Amino acid sequence: MAKADFHNHSTASDGRLTPTQLVDLAAKNGVRIFALTDHDSTEGIAEAKRAAERHAGFFLIPGVELSTDIEDDEVHVLGYFTFEALTNEALQAALARFREGRFERGRLMTERLAQLGLPVSWQRVLEIAGEASVGRPHVARAMVEAGHVAQGRLGARCGARPGAPSGRCLGGLGHFQRLTGGLDRRSTL
Q: Binding residues for Zn ion, per CB under 5 A?
A: 65
- Nearest Cα neighbor of 61 from 101, 137, 2 is 2
- Considering beta carbons, is residue 136 or 144 the nearer one to Zn ion? 136
d(C-alpha 118, C-alpha 91), whole Å: 37
Q: Least CB distance from residue 88 to Zn ion, whole Å?
A: 22
- Considering beta carbons, is residue 118 or 164 the nearer one to Zn ion? 164
- Considering beta carbons, is residue 148 or 175 the nearer one to Zn ion? 175
Q: Least CB distance from residue 168 to Zn ion, whole Å?
A: 5
Q: Least CB distance from residue 120 to Zn ion, whole Å?
A: 22
- Considering beta carbons, is residue 41 or 118 the nearer one to Zn ion? 41
Per DSSP bridges, beta strands 31-36 and 3-5 are: parallel
- CB contact set of 128 (below 8 Å; sequence gap of 6+): 138, 141, 142
d(C-alpha 6, C-alpha 87), whole Å: 21
CA distances from 6 to 16, 85, 95, 184 (A): 17, 18, 19, 30
Q: Least CB distance from residue 119 to Zn ion, whole Å?
A: 27
For Zn ion, the nearest residue by Cβ is 65
